[in-house]
Amino acid sequence: MNVLGCVAALIAMALAYLAARNQRLLARPLGRKARTAAWIFAMLAFVAWVACETSLPGIFAALTALMLGAVAVPYVVWLLRPASERKPH
């Protein structure tokens, strides 16, 4: 269940990032359905972590996994983009 919670959290944050206006991977951000799917995966992460741990540690573990995904996804996208496309602001 811990692996399921981590995977669900990373998918949720990846979808949330790709649905944002400031994302740098796609030509256009994903639509409202991706944002809804991000919420569903985030809730799945919470359910998986609470089912594995008790209620309060599960909530904090899910929040930590979601925060890790929210920080890591933009850096992974930055690393995946070719160096010619990286422009400092």
Q: Which two tokens mark 73?
A: 């996804």
Q: CB count, 10 Å around CB of 48?
A: 23
- How do the pLDDT tens digits run along the chain, 89 residues long? 789 999 999 999 999 999 999 888 888 899 899 999 999 999 999 999 999 888 899 899 999 999 999 999 989 988 887 656 656 55
Provide the b/e sequence for 57-72 (b: ≥16 CB within 10 Å): ebeebbeebbeebbee
- Residue type present at position 32: R
Q: Where are the domains of the chain?
A: 2-85
What is residue 79's predicted lDDT score, i.e. its pLDDT?
A: 86
Q: How far apart are CA 78 and CA 37, in angstroms?
A: 23
pLDDT tens for each residue of 14-36? 999 999 998 888 888 998 999 99
DSSP of 4-22, one letter per residue?
HHHHHHHHHHHHHHHHSTT
